[in-house]
Amino acid sequence: MSLKSILGYRPLSTDNKKSLQWTISLSFTAIAIISIVSMTVAFYSRSINTLRSNTIKQNEQIVDQVSRNLNSYIRSMMSISDTMYYSVIKNRNLTNERINNEMNLLYEANKDNLTSIVCASEDGAIIAASPVSSRKAGVDLKTQEWFQRAFDEIENIHFSTPHVQNIFDNSNYRYYWVVSLSRNVELTYLGTVRNGVLLVDMNYSGIEQIFENVNDGGVGFVYLCDADGNIIYHPMKKAIAAGLVKENNITHADHADGAFSERFDGVERDVVVKTVGYTGWKIVSITPTSELAMDMGQMRNYLFMVAIIILLFIVSGNYIISYVVTDPIRKLEESISYLEEGVANEDIMNEDDIFIGGSHEIRHLGRTIKSMIRQMKKLTDDMVKEQKAKRKSELDALQSQINPHFLYNTLDSVVWMIEGERYKDAISMVTALAQLFRISLSKGNNIIPIRDEIIHARNYLNIQTVRFKNKFSASIDIDPAIEDCATIKLIVQPLLENAIYYGVEHMDGEGEIKVKGYEKDGDIYISVSDNGMGIPEDVLKTLLTDKARSRGKGSGIGLWNVNQRIQIYFKGDYGLIIESELDEGTTVTIHLPKIPIEEYRKEEDAK
């Protein structure tokens, strides 16, 4: 294990060398940004609220003005109705007196705002009308809404919603939109009082003109509805009637006078409602919040420019201040870079190059680092020795688990061959056994080339083939490109031993063992497969755990032993992969990093 890996050395980049200065600068800058942004947002929110409040007040003033104009218009119509009723109708006996002249004079005086004046009896007969026109055929006044309402509530004056005048024919074939003002009146015939209806048709264009004047430009719009929510005037009335646009008129009609906000049809809107006296009509001002976007945008851009200028000054000042404050720390950091270079090259570290200066805390830090350097070399040397000793003891402990039972059985087989005068077979077995143990010793090295490990495996298979009298066949296929790569010794032979004793020992010549070695994704894989009876799933799950340490026979090294030795030496996801199916066989794959043996030996010699 190298000194760099023990200390976790990582070279410092330029950004890391400036980290303290940047941290201080950025911290103060962040605080300034947060403060400025918070103040800007608060000021912006307050400004927006003020803008909306001013807009609402302005709309309230507009609504008040419309209300005054509309009240004046309605009062003038009511005045016409009152004049006609109290000054003319009430003072006449209609048996022998007419009211046509007075009605015509009243119409002519107010014809700009009137369409017609009609007085009708309770049975729907027209007593007088101005201007004089022929009555439309089939028109029954008793079915008209204004007529019925006049008899339903005889004490009140009633206002209708806009409609086309449908009582008299018009010589120029034009249609006039009117708002009907109707009331119950007392008609005198032969000294008898009868009920009738006085109708004043107001020209709708007068109401329309009042609202068009306030809807011509500006922000939002104003519309008029009756107490039931029926729209009397709306700048988009045709679009609403066609279903292209929606309006929240029913809700507005039920709302009390005042200002409120709403979300309707996905749009945020500010609403002002005011009730018109006498009629119960509602004047409604609508201002979509989006229409304030232009003013909001200008204000936002102005605040943004001011905030950017302030931030530029703050960032510049913070950088200068942080540079002055961190200069002694920077010098100390630069002197420590020599220490880091020593760690990187595993050279002797020099404590005399450490900078001591600046504030009390920085000087104390420099002295502490000097003291640390004096002890670091000894500490790292001790750690390296301890790690090497620990790793060697672990490997030796696992290696010492090799059971000599295989040696005893092999020597018994040699004795049996000599007694049977099978000298050539005995010589071959003894030679294979000698090569097997020569590679096992490997001059005390735990890491050997894959080529030697495969030779060891071949010798082991030669011995076992003779012992088991050809009960199984074996083949070895190793990619030559990996033969000069490093591996831990004695990791293939235990897998072969398990394949023989657990897989093919009792198969009577039908057993088959295959060894393959190959490279995949930059790593090395060596697999040992057999066509034996397989391993039960519950046993398969525990083969590489501590529960498997006491299981097994043969050499006794076992799958757990091999997996542990690989993981002790090679960190990472290296070790054994076991796949098995009952009555199909088992495949155990060794996963190793690809390290050329020469490269490994150079690293070992350099330590």
| Residues 233 and 256 both lie in one domain | yes
Quick one: pLDDT band at residue 545, thresholds 50, 70, 90?
Answer: confident
Helix-strand-coil split of the chain, %, nearest 5:
55, 20, 25
Location of structure tokens 């509530």: 153
Query: What pLDDT sits at residue 521?
Result: 93
E strands of 451-555, at which residues? Answer: 472-478, 486-488, 511-520, 523-530
| Residues 193 and 287 both lie in one domain | yes
> Does 373 score more than 80 pLDDT?
no
Quick one: pLDDT band at residue 348, thresholds 50, 70, 90?
Answer: very low
> Does 406 score more than 70 pLDDT?
no
| Residues 380 and 410 both lie in one domain | no
Quick one: pLDDT band at residue 345, thresholds 50, 70, 90?
Answer: very low
Quick one: pLDDT band at residue 2, thresholds 50, 70, 90?
Answer: very low
| Spatial separation of the C-alpha atoms in residues 452 and 488, rounded to whole Å | 11
Report the share of the chain in percent with pLDDT over 70.
83
Average pLDDT over every residue of 274-292: 86
| Spatial separation of the C-alpha atoms in residues 388 and 396, rounded to whole Å | 12
| Residues 290 and 374 both lie in one domain | no
66: which residues sit within 8 A by CB, 6+ positions away? 210, 211, 214, 222, 283
| Residues 424 and 374 both lie in one domain | no
Encoded tokens for 409: 């059985």
Q: Which of 13, 189, 223 is nearest to 99 (CA)?
A: 189
| Spatial separation of the C-alpha atoms in residues 292 and 399, rounded to whole Å | 84
pLDDT tens per residue across span 456-507: 888 888 888 877 777 888 999 999 999 999 998 888 988 988 888 888 887 8
Highest mean pLDDT, choosing among 52-66, 321-335, 396-410: 52-66
Query: What pLDDT sits at residue 19?
Result: 60
589 in a structural domain: yes
Highest mean pLDDT, choosing among 12-26, 302-316, 452-466: 452-466
> Does 6 score more than 60 pLDDT?
no
Average pLDDT over every residue of 349-378: 71
pLDDT tens per residue across span 591-605: 999 999 999 888 877
Q: Which of 488, 499, 479, 457 is nearest to 563 (CA)?
A: 488
pLDDT tens per residue across span 580-593: 999 899 999 999 99
342 in a structural domain: no
Q: Which of 37, 22, 33 is nearest to 311 (CA)?
A: 33
Location of structure tokens 């070399």: 377
| Residues 264 and 358 both lie in one domain | no
H-state helical runs in 216-359: 237-241, 249-254, 293-345
> Does 443 score more than 80 pLDDT?
no
Distances in Å between the alpha carbon of 591 and those of 42, 520, 573, 603?
63, 10, 8, 22
341 in a structural domain: no
| Residues 96 and 81 both lie in one domain | yes
| Residues 331 and 368 both lie in one domain | no
Amino acid at 265: D
Encoded tokens for 398: 């696992």
Evaluate whether 147 touches 124 at the Cβ level (below 8 Å). yes
Instruction: Count CA atoms within 13 Å of residue 215 on its CB side.
Output: 18
| Spatial separation of the C-alpha atoms in residues 2 and 291, rounded to whole Å | 70
| Residues 406 and 386 both lie in one domain | no
Three-state DSSP at 475 gives strand
345 in a structural domain: no
pLDDT tens per residue across span 36-56: 888 878 887 777 778 778 888
> Between these two residues, 346 and 190, which has the higher pLDDT value?
190
> Between these two residues, 532 and 370, which has the higher pLDDT value?
532
- Check: pTM over 0.75? Answer yes or no: no
| Residues 195 and 101 both lie in one domain | yes
| Spatial separation of the C-alpha atoms in residues 362 and 336, rounded to whole Å | 13
Query: What pLDDT sits at residue 542?
Result: 84
Boundary of a domain, candidates 336, 368, 384: 336
Q: Which of 198, 174, 173 is nearest to 187 (CA)?
A: 198
Average pLDDT over every residue of 216-222: 79
489 in a structural domain: yes
Quick one: pLDDT band at residue 272, thresholds 50, 70, 90?
Answer: very high
Out of 125-134, 163-172, 283-292, 547-556, least confident range? 547-556
Encoded tokens for 84: 């006609």
| Residues 372 and 408 both lie in one domain | no
Average pLDDT over every residue of 275-292: 85
CA 11 centroid distance within chain:
36
169 in a structural domain: yes
Question: Which contiguous run of DSSP H or E holds residue 228?
Answer: none
Q: Which of 314, 353, 403 is nearest to 26 (CA)?
A: 314
Query: What pLDDT sits at residue 16?
Result: 46
Average pLDDT over every residue of 558-572: 82
Three-state DSSP at 577 gives strand
Distances in Å between the alpha carbon of 375 and those of 350, 351, 362, 370, 371?
12, 11, 20, 9, 7
Quick one: pLDDT band at residue 520, thresholds 50, 70, 90?
Answer: very high
Residue 421's CATH number: 3.30.565.10
> Does 11 score more than 70 pLDDT?
no
> For residue 268, what are the β-bridge partners?
263
Q: Residue 488: how many CB atoms within 10 A of its CB?
A: 20
**How does strand 192-203 pair with strand 177-189?**
antiparallel
Amino acid at 598: E
Quick one: pLDDT band at residue 7, thresholds 50, 70, 90?
Answer: very low
> Does 266 score more than 60 pLDDT?
yes
Three-state DSSP at 262 gives strand
Alpha-carbon torsion, ordered 541, 545, 549, 555, to 10 deg: 70
128: which residues sit within 8 A by CB, 6+ positions away? 98, 99, 100, 103, 118, 119
Evaluate whether 87 touches 198 at the Cβ level (below 8 Å). no
| Residues 9 and 117 both lie in one domain | yes
pLDDT tens per residue across span 59-111: 889 999 999 999 998 899 899 999 999 999 988 888 888 898 999 999 999 98
E strands of 423-581, at which residues? Answer: 447-449, 472-478, 486-488, 511-520, 523-530, 575-581
Q: Residue 62: how many CB atoms within 10 A of its CB?
A: 19
27 in a structural domain: yes
Quick one: pLDDT band at residue 1, thresholds 50, 70, 90?
Answer: very low
CA 242 centroid distance within chain:
41
Query: What pLDDT sits at residue 418?
Result: 86
Residue 24's CATH number: 3.30.450.20
How many domains does one find in the chain?
3
Out of 5-9, 318-322, 360-364, least confident range? 5-9
Encoded tokens for 482: 């990996």
Q: 565 is in which domain, residue-wise?
A: 401-606
> Does 172 score more than 50 pLDDT?
yes
Quick one: pLDDT band at residue 526, thresholds 50, 70, 90?
Answer: very high
Encoded tokens for 488: 């831990």
The mean pLDDT value of the chain amounts to: 81
535 in a structural domain: yes
pLDDT tens per residue across span 130-150: 887 778 888 889 989 889 999
Quick one: pLDDT band at residue 25, thresholds 50, 70, 90?
Answer: confident
